[in-house]
Amino acid sequence: MTSSVDWFRRAQDVLPGGVNSPVRACRGVGCDPLFIGSARGSRMRTVDGQELIDFVLSWGPMILGHCDPEVIEAARAAVERGSSYGAPCPGEVELAEAVRRLMPGMEMMRMVSSGTEATMSALRLARGFTGRDKLIKFDGCYHGHSDAFLASAGSGLATLSIPGTPGVPADVVAHTLIAPYNDLEAVEDLFNRHGREIACVIVEPAAGNMGLVPPEPGFLEGLRALCTRFGALLIFDEVITGFRLSLGGAQARYGVRPDLTTLGKIIGGGFPVGCFGGRREIMEHVAPVGAVYQAGTLSGNPAAMAAGLATLRRLEACDYDALERRTLAFARDLKSVLEEKGLPVQMNHVASIFTLFFTKTPVTDFDTAKTMDTEAYATFFRQMREAGVNLAPSGYECTFTSFAHTEEDFAATLDAARRVRF
């Protein structure tokens, strides 16, 4: 049996960092990744034979748990009819109609293969529809790795961004304006200075990439009003929150309707699916109807469509309120266990997502999230994984629960946390 150590050694010779996505390398938590051989329900099994209670859930998609029988069967039946056609198939229409039924603001949509593709395309569409170039995003929010979003806040209150990574030309992020999350005044100030140049505001309606940071009352409503007032489009990046904060996502939970929505993760049920959509008059600017070009070889892949449709159909029968109550109770218990060890812990929770921040400062934006003790988190991560609990290998990610997690899973996790030594 080839161990995780052996697989990781081989992987590093052929894949940068031995991974196909950086956070999986566990560099932020001071250990090497474990290789996974299988997963079912709330648990994964490593190639070394260790069973892990999983709270990463592939970074959100597996809200039904791994290997949900109906999802797997739907994908199997589809793939046995052919894995990719490069031509329209009924599943694309059925999934889009199911999404529209759950998110009526998505009057029309386009399927793609990742969240990055969805947000990149939505930005191009917003710019094409408005004829404007600038965008507003929020510090600490992540919208995938397309160039315009890989920007860091300029020094001080400078509104012009600087590249957040080598390889992104300065002039590509010159139109990216950055504001602190939950800071409506900063957004209004940007609009007052650049109003008629701003194509869109893109926001995670509950932020999940600086740890979980919920919107403060009035924040989303304020963004809606500002966008309407200045003729900019409001884009909700619901790649994490879609079908998780409620069956209708964050827009249903908070009662704010964006002009465009981007989706990923859960919509594919574990298969590569992204989606952007919204008001019909905007979406009809997308090729081939309109002039804004967007395309994809595997967009609308029949197996992925079948898995996504089966997932949404299963979710329509799930009790979101019960999962929210169970998740909150579990998060509170976990917070108490850690506080009993003398650690300062802040907890942010919404629906089936939470983050425990090792800091005494309430976390409401990226600056306060950065007060967390990342070393303490790394210690927590390593000892919990040793004890059979898989948490996100970064304190800036979320803890996800699923409809497959049991009270036994939660109890075992609390027992493991009680044994952690800082």
Q: Is 335 a catalytic residue?
A: no
Query: Which residue number, 141 or 153, has a Cβ lying nearer to ligand KE4?
Result: 141
Determine phi and psi for 28, rounding to 5 degrees: -80, -10
Minimum separation from the CB atom of position 370 to ligand KE4 (A): 16
Nearer to ligand KE4, 188 or 365 (CB): 365
CB of 264 to ligand KE4, least distance (A): 4
Nearer to ligand KE4, 92 or 397 (CB): 397
Supply the minimum distance, in Å, between the C-beta of residue 164 and ligand KE4. Answer: 14
237 noted as active-site residue: yes
Nearest to 143 by CA among 175, 168, 160, 118: 118
Q: Rounded distance, CA 66 to CA 407, Å? A: 17
- Structural element, H or E, at residue 100: helix 90-102
For residue 142, the minimal CB distance to ligand KE4 (Å) is 5
Beta-strand pair 51-54/389-390: parallel
Antiparallel, parallel or unpaired: β 151-152 and 43-46: unpaired
Query: Which among 301, 315, 312 is positioned nearest to 114, based on CA atoms?
Result: 301
CB 374 within 8 A of CB 28: yes
Q: Least Å distance between CB 8 and ligand KE4?
A: 17
Torsion of CA 394, 397, 402, 408, to 10 degrees: 40
Q: Which of 134, 137, 265, 370 is catalytic?
A: 265
Residues of this chain that interact with ligand KE4 (CB under 6 A) are 21, 23, 59, 114-116, 119, 142-144, 204, 208-209, 237, 239-240, 264, 397
Single-letter code of the amino acid located at 400 = F
* Tokens read off for 378: 């790394």
CA distance between the termini of the chain: 33
Q: Kindly name the residue from 68, 142, 181, 254 that is annotated as catalytic.
A: 142
Cβ proximity to ligand KE4: between 209 and 299 the closer is: 209
Verify whether residue 142 is a known catalytic residue: yes
Nearer CB in complex with ligand KE4: 207/282: 207
How far is Cα 266 from Cα 304, in angstroms, rounded to an integer? 11
Beta strands in 269-335 (DSSP E): 274-278
Nearest residue to ligand KE4 on Cβ basis = 115
- As annotated, the active-site residues are 142, 237, 265
